[in-house]
């Protein structure tokens, strides 16, 4: 059996691990699709970030039985051809959960404990114990979204003794969420929130889901953190809410336009913290992605059911 990988710069330790563990399998680690293309026709398994496949390449890969996508996004996959050929697709769904949950907790701590003020004091050699360090424990977190990232964020929030409330399309119960509600019930739970953490994907239903009226019903002391999609709320509505002090602070990792334009008012607004859409970036990404592949390859060789199976009809 042949595994062809188009992933660039796979660390030697990972290559060695696979070659030693699966000695009956041939691994061809290529530096990108251009190099991998030569071997596609022999591949039984193809490892990719999912952005380099098209109809022609699927046709060329005549022995292909399984595509392991080391990414969570599937937008550019040629699912029609994949379905016709009956090729199995799996991805690394949930891989962003740990870095994004750490992002959320670190930013809640940073804002609550006035890190910017304290760092400025340090620059001035100023020993000043007056800034109030609000604790995050015992607060209420409302999560917009209840998937893997929301659950991992809620799990950490529970360690800080928070109450966790999830809001999703279905409103179904999920691990680490004390309560769950449907999107229609959003306005019922927002007044309770100390922290609103948005991890919603961008769909027709979530675009501009939050508007002025939502911020108006939130606590004046509350914090809004968006690490989902930038089109959950309009910049104008959010800026108005901040300037009217309807909420205390917004932490934004995603924006309607990215990169956030140099002249955008968010950069200068005292009660807005801007980060450059990096909440999901992690130095552990590649090792973690190959761990999922490792588990699945083991299952594949034992003819067991794979994890993170994608339905080519739905694309997720």
Which among 19, 28, 98 is positioned nearest to 283, based on CA atoms?
98
Of 91 and 153, the one with the shorter C-beta distance to a second copy is 153
Total chain residues near a second copy (CB under 8 A): 48
Selected from 115, 183, 217, 286, the binder of a second copy by CB under 8 A is 115
Residue 59 in contact with a second copy, rule: CB under 8 A: no
Selected from 173, 281, 301, 309, the binder of a second copy by CB under 8 A is 281
Neighbours of 162 (CB within 10 A): 20
| Distances in whole angstroms, Cα of residue 311 to Cα of each of 62, 64, 308 | 20, 17, 10
Selected from 19, 84, 119, 202, the binder of a second copy by CB under 8 A is 119
Q: Which two tokens stand for residue 245?
A: 């002090």
> Cα angle vertex 281, ends 271, 55, to 5°?
125
Residue 135 in contact with a second copy, rule: CB under 8 A: yes
Of 75 and 270, the one with the shorter C-beta distance to a second copy is 270
Selected from 12, 132, 204, 303, the binder of a second copy by CB under 8 A is 132
CA dist., res. 74 & res. 31, Å (int)? 21
Q: Which two tokens stand for residue 197?
A: 């953490």
Residue 284 in contact with a second copy, rule: CB under 8 A: yes
Residue 113 in contact with a second copy, rule: CB under 8 A: yes
The arrangement of strands across the sheet holding 2-5 comes to 26-29, 2-5, 45-48, 66-69, 88-90
Sign, Cα dihedral of 212, 218, 222, 225 = negative
Selected from 125, 302, 313, 314, the binder of a second copy by CB under 8 A is 125
- Report the chain's C-alpha Rg in angstroms: 23
Binding site for a second copy (CB under 8 A): 98-99, 102-103, 105-106, 109-110, 113, 115-116, 118-119, 121-122, 125, 127-129, 131-137, 155-156, 159-160, 258-260, 262-264, 267-268, 273-278, 281-284
């Amino acid at each position: 059996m042949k595994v062809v990988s188009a992933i660039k710069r796979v660390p030697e330790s990972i290559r060695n691990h696979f070659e030693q563990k699966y000695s009956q399998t041939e691994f061809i680690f290529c530096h990108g699709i251009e190099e991998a293309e030569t071997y596609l026709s022999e591949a039984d398994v193809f490892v990719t970030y999912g952005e380099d496949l098209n109809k022609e390449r699927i046709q060329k890969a005549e022995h292909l039985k399984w595509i392991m996508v080391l990414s969570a996004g599937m937008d550019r996959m040629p699912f029609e051809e994949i379905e016709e050929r009956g090729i199995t697709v799996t991805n690394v769904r949930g891989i962003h959960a740990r870095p994004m949950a750490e992002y959320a907790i670190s930013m809640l701590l940073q804002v609550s404990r006035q890190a910017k003020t304290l760092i400025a004091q340090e620059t001035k050699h100023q020993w000043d114990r007056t800034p109030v360090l609000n604790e995050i424990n015992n607060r209420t977190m409302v999560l917009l979204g209840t998937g893997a990232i929301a659950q991992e964020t809620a799990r950490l929030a529970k360690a800080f003794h928070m109450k966790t409330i999830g809001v999703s399309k279905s409103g179904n119960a999920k691990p680490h969420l004390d309560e769950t509600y449907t999107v229609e019930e959003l306005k019922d739970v927002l007044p309770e929130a100390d922290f609103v953490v948005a991890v919603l994907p961008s769909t027709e239903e979530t675009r501009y889901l939050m508007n002025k009226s939502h911020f108006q019903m939130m606590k004046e002391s509350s914090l809004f953190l968006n690490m989902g999609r930038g089109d959950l709320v309009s910049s104008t509505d959010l800026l108005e809410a901040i300037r009217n002090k309807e909420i205390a602070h917004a932490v934004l990792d995603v924006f309607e336009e990215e990169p956030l334009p140099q002249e955008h008012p968010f950069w200068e607004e005292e009660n807005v913290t801007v980060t450059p859409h990096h909440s999901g970036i992690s130095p552990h990404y590649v090792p973690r992605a190959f761990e999922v592949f490792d588990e699945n390859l083991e299952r594949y060789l034992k003819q067991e059911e794979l994890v993170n199976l994608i339905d080519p009809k739905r694309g997720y």
